[in-house]
């Protein structure tokens, strides 16, 4: 069964007329990416780096459509200049869903520094950040974030916390057998 | 280094003869002045920042406006910075997107330092390797004529890398106000009312 918040996120994308969804995958985003991929009314775009999402989203808006961007928290660093110089300078709407790593119960120490930096980095370039840890808060933040982004030309990021998506999204954490050397 | 003899102004003048109603995203740097000096109009979006994002912005626009052609006019340094976007474009195969890289093998805005294309990086080959179905490597005016034919009758998407002389562009500067440029573009594409409201 798909994670309930991802089902709601997909429904809200449809309700708010999101036509393009750009993503760099994360385990916590799998169900939402699959739902967008399977939806003929949504152009699901796999990107090589999160920075492309800023161009993609802004370009879609220039052409009269709404886009949403999905990424893992470690990818946020790749978006910084594009957000600051394109989104902020031009007041483009921006809506991102960021699934968190390096947070609650993280088992990969290399994820922790960027996980801690994600929210302050986004805020430092003018993004409104909603950090959520429950289904209810996630759905509310996505609904209101979509509204705010596209009606108020705001940059909004909903950070989905590891309390909600679980810390065990890394393949080595869920494998039945691993060998240590 | 290959021989760089085409003048950017001559290339732009030739391309604009077949522009029609194509929308243009101009990448940061000299391509902004090139587009402004050759065919300044509201359907041009000039990037004064966001280096590396011209191609992804063109893709977003092309997907949103499938019935109009979208041209990305950018430079070699800008294209190199967002070079993964070739793969992203290839995975979408938008039949209305053309990317033209004006490759003078230098970072023109920052003091004419050499880019990787002067050391052998071949953006046309990189685009082909990323899966772009049509790539053109152009070094002379006959090649530019071929490009105008390809822009007119397709098939798209294509990436054309036009080797040009490392000469100064015509310094025709458009407005720097990003909000103005955005709204002006949307008004031209969507109409005055729709431009100012979410779709």
pLDDT of residue A13: 98
pLDDT of residue A26: 94
Average pLDDT of the segment spanning B98-117: 96
pLDDT digits (tens, 9 = 90+) for A126-180: 999 999 999 999 999 999 999 999 999 999 999 999 999 986 556 777 778 888 8
Q: What is the pLDDT confidence band of residue B2, given thresholds at 50, 70 and 90?
A: low
**Residue B130 pLDDT greater than 70, yes or no:** yes
Domains and CATH numbers, chain A: 4-106+132-162 (3.40.50.970)
Give the pairing type, strands B113-114 and B134-138: unpaired
Average pLDDT of the segment spanning B20-35: 97
Buried b vs exposed e over A93-109: b needs ≥16 C-beta within 10 Å?
bbbbbbbbbbbeebeee
In three state form, how does the secondary structure of chain B look?
CCCCCECHHHHHHHHHCCCCCCEEEECCCHHHHHHHHHHCCCCEEECCCCCCCHHHHHHHHHHHCCCCCEEEEEEHHHHHHCCCHHHHHHHHCCCCEEEEEEECCEEHHHCCEECHHHHCCCHHHHHHHCCCCEEEEECCHHHHHHHHHHHHHCCCCEEEEEEECCCCCCCCCCCCCHHHHHHHHHHHHHCHHHHCCCC
pLDDT of residue A168: 59
Q: Which residues of B touch A126 (CB under 8 A)?
A: none
- A19 touches B: beta carbon within 8 Å: yes
Q: What is the pLDDT confidence band of residue B15, given thresholds at 50, 70 and 90?
A: very high
Question: What's the rounded Cα separation, in Å, for the pair A63 and A169?
Answer: 36
State percent of chain B over pLDDT 70.
Answer: 98
∠ CA A87-A89-A93, nearest 5°, is 30
pLDDT of residue B77: 98
H/E element holding A113? helix A112-124
Question: What's the rounded Cα separation, in Å, for the pair B125 and B77?
Answer: 16
**Residue A80 pLDDT greater than 80, yes or no:** yes
- Enter the tokens of residue A143: 């609904």
pLDDT of residue B4: 81
Is the preceding peptide bond at B157 cis, omega within 30 degrees of 0? yes
**What φ, ψ does residue A73 adopt, rounded to 5°?**
-60, -35
Average pLDDT of the segment spanning B175-197: 96
In angstroms, how far is the first alpha carbon of chain B from the final one? 48
The distance from CA B187 to its chain's CA centroid, rounded to whole angstroms, is 21
- A50 touches B: beta carbon within 8 Å: no
pLDDT of residue A169: 58
pLDDT of residue B121: 98
Contact A64 B92 (CB under 8 A): no
∠ CA A113-A114-A117, nearest 5°, is 95
Contact B63 A17 (CB under 8 A): no
A48 to chain B: closest CA residue: B84
- Enter the tokens of residue B68: 């109009």
Torsion sign over Cα B158, B164, B168, B171: negative
Which of A109-113, A174-178, B24-28 has the weakest average pLDDT? A174-178
**What φ, ψ does residue B57 adopt, rounded to 5°?**
-65, -40
Q: Which residues pair with B74 in a beta bridge?
A: B101
Q: Which residues of A touch B182 (CB under 8 A)?
A: 61-62, 90-92
CATH classification of B8-195, choosing from 3.40.50.970, 3.40.630.30, 3.40.50.2300, 3.40.50.1260? Answer: 3.40.50.970
pLDDT of residue A104: 86
- A42 touches B: beta carbon within 8 Å: no
**Residue B160 pLDDT greater than 70, yes or no:** yes
Contact B53 A86 (CB under 8 A): yes
Per-residue DSSP letter, A65: -
* Spatial CB neighbours of B79, under 8 Å, sequence gap ≥ 6: B27, B54, B55, B99, B101, B123
Q: Which residues of B touch A92 (CB under 8 A)?
A: 182
pLDDT digits (tens, 9 = 90+) for B60-93: 999 999 999 999 999 999 999 999 999 999 999 9
pLDDT of residue B100: 98
pLDDT digits (tens, 9 = 90+) for A20-63: 999 999 999 999 999 999 999 999 999 999 999 999 999 999 99
pLDDT of residue A170: 64
């Amino acid at each position: 069964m798909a994670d309930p918040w991802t089902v709601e996120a997909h429904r809200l994308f449809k309700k708010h007329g999101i036509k393009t969804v750009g993503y760099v995958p994360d385990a916590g985003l799998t169900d939402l990416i699959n739902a967008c991929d399977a939806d003929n009314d949504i152009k699901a775009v796999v990107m090589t780096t999160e920075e492309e999402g800023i161009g993609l989203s802004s370009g879609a808006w220039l052409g009269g459509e709404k886009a949403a961007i999905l990424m893992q928290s470690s990818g946020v660093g790749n978006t910084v200049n594009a957000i600051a110089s394109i989104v902020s300078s031009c007041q483009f709407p921006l809506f991102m869903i960021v699934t968190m790593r390096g947070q609650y119960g993280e088992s990969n120490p290399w994820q922790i520094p960027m996980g801690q930096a994600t929210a302050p980095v986004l805020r430092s370039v003018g993004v409104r950040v909603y950090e959520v840890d429950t289904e209810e808060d996630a759905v509310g933040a996505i609904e209101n974030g979509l509204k705010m982004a596209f009606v108020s030309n705001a940059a909004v990021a909903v950070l989905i916390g590891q309390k909600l998506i679980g810390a065990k999204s890394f393949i080595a954490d869920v494998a039945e057998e691993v060998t240590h050397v | 280094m290959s021989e760089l003899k085409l003048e950017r102004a001559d290339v732009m003048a030739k391309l604009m003869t077949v522009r029609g109603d194509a929308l243009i995203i101009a990448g940061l740097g000299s391509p902004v002045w090139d587009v402004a000096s050759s065919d300044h109009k509201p359907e041009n979006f000039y990037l004064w920042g966001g280096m590396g994002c011209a191609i992804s912005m063109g893709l977003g626009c092309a997907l949103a406006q499938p019935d109009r052609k979208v041209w990305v006019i950018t430079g070699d340094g800008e294209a190199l910075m967002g070079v993964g976007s070739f793969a992203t474009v290839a995975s979408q195969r938008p039949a209305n997107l053309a990317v033209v890289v004006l490759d003078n093998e230098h970072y023109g805005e920052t003091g004419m330092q050499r880019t990787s294309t002067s050391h052998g990086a071949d953006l046309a080959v990189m685009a082909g390797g990323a899966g772009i179905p049509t790539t053109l490597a152009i070094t002379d005016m006959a090649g530019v004529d071929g490009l105008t034919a390809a822009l007119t009758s397709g098939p798209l998407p294509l990436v054309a890398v036009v080797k040009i002389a490392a000469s100064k562009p015509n310094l025709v500067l458009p407005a720097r106000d990003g909000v103005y440029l955005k709204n002006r573009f949307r008004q031209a594409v969507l109409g005055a009312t729709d431009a100012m409201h979410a779709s």
